[in-house]
Amino acid sequence: MRENLHRFFRAARGAGVRVSPAESIDAMRAVADIGFSDRGILKDTLLLTLAKTREEKQSLGECFDLFFDHPELDASPPNAPDDAPDDEPKADNDNSPADTSGAESAGDGNSSEGTPELGALARMLMSQDRNEIATAIAQAANAAQLSEIRYFTQRGLFSTRMLDLMGIARLRDDIDALTTANPSEAERLAAATQGLRDAVREAVSQALLLYGREESEALRNDILRNAPMARLDPRQVKEMQALIRMIARRLRARYSKPRKRQRRGHLDVRRTLRRNAAWGGVPFLTTWKRRHRDRPKIVAICDVSGSVARVSDFFLLLIHSLHEVVSDVRSFAFSGHLIEVSDILEKKSPEEAMSEIMAKAGFGSSDYGRSLADFEKGWLNIVTPKTTVIVLGDARTNNLDPRADILRRIGERSKRLVWLNPEGRMAWGWGDSEMPRYATFCSVVRQCTNARQLERAVSDIVAAYQ
């Protein structure tokens, strides 16, 4: 079972459970103590030693149920039939002459004369021993390295490979021979062969769910990363939300960890000599010039009007992650008027926060001029030369006064003014778009039509403070 445990660890990683080598060793030691006889105890043991969060426990439990229901795990060692009393009669039949076995399987009162000699796979199917068939499928899966399956396009390849290893070519010859000698037995063997094909396909499908999940999700996520967020169908919206959450977790993991060590910088010769004057200037104690880093301050202003309603949820998810990565973040949302949503994003879950923000300020007609005036009147004093201001919106003003003069003052007061626009550059400046006018006063202007561009833009902003 050691190899099966290694395959289970690989399947668990594909299900999103982080399994380190040390945790794998701990799990194998625990399993060695409790054994494999009780599946419930085995499952609890693996959950306790491998899962670290509630989500991982759920994923690992589902992976366990699928993995240990796999025929590959019912494989018995080569000497198992000799140890199992129920299998002893079958072992005697296997050691008997092939023509006798064929006569028995093609019985129904017929004599053995004229009955073709059947191969091992045909005799196994005619005996209808499910345990023996499951064992043969598991052994073929191991020989075909079924655990290496990664993509759904490989299902036919591995099914064919397993059937070839089991002897499907000889089985077809046996069916042809029986068709002439005993048509009824040939029909029964053909039906059993179709059942074998179905069982092999099911084993391959289960293996794909176990071992191909990581690659399949990676391929789907890569497609989603490049898909325009404003053109997603309802099914893809849920998948995109899950992808944005994954991006947010990666940002938190990458940038929220404390720096374990600081660069020493350059040697401060003057201070080092002064500090070591008592030792005649011998530099026993050194002093280094460290680079001063400003504490990050971010102001995020997000458009949640009807024109960007399809992408505002994704913007809010990323802003929510900023509150966990950067200590000093002030967030605002607007459509016709602007409100501060910092407390909502800090105190509530992403789903609850987005629902409340959209209820208070979302889906309206965008008025950038009025919203910028609201910000200038109530919160312009929070913008300092250490502040990065991020505006997320399409800059479509509904032909109202854009108040670009306020944006200019915000840009002059801030360290950087970054604008992330969910529309393609070809649409900027057309219709009621004031993006070219606003871009004049921005330090950085980015097109963020898909998740890849959004992740890169937010990552660059946060990385600037590291």
Topology at the third CATH level for domain 297-463: Rossmann fold (3.40.50)
**Tens of pLDDT along 47-100?**
888 888 887 888 888 888 878 764 433 333 333 344 444 444 443 444 333 343
Residues 364, 367: Cα–Cα separation, whole Å: 9
The amino acid occupying position 123 is: R
Q: Name beta bridge partners: 302.
A: 333, 392
The amino acid occupying position 118 is: L
The residue with tokens 């459970």 is: 17
CB atoms within 10 A of CB 397: 24
* CA nearest neighbour of 392 among 463, 465, 352, 341: 341
**Residue-level pLDDT at 411:** 94
* CA nearest neighbour of 390 among 325, 466, 319, 321: 319
Residues 442, 122: Cα–Cα separation, whole Å: 76
Parallel, antiparallel or unpaired: strands 288-289 and 338-340: unpaired
**Residue-level pLDDT at 294:** 52
Taking a C-beta distance cutoff of 8 angstroms, is the pair 206, 280 a contact?
Answer: no
Tokens of 321: 């992650």
Considering the chain, what is the average pLDDT of its residues? 80
DSSP, res 226: T
**Tens of pLDDT along 170-222?**
999 999 988 888 888 889 999 999 999 999 998 888 888 777 776 667 777 77
End-to-end CA distance of the chain: 46
* CA nearest neighbour of 170 among 207, 117, 114: 117
Tokens of 92: 């005697």
Taking a C-beta distance cutoff of 8 angstroms, is the pair 316, 353 a contact?
Answer: yes
Residues in the chain with pLDDT values less than 50: 70-112, 257-262
**Residue-level pLDDT at 369:** 94
**Residue-level pLDDT at 131:** 85
Taken in order 392, 398, 404, 410, the sign of the CA dihedral is negative
**Residue-level pLDDT at 407:** 95
**Residue-level pLDDT at 80:** 38
**Residue-level pLDDT at 79:** 39
Kind and range of the H or E run holding 446: strand 444-447
**Residue-level pLDDT at 24:** 87
**Residue-level pLDDT at 92:** 41
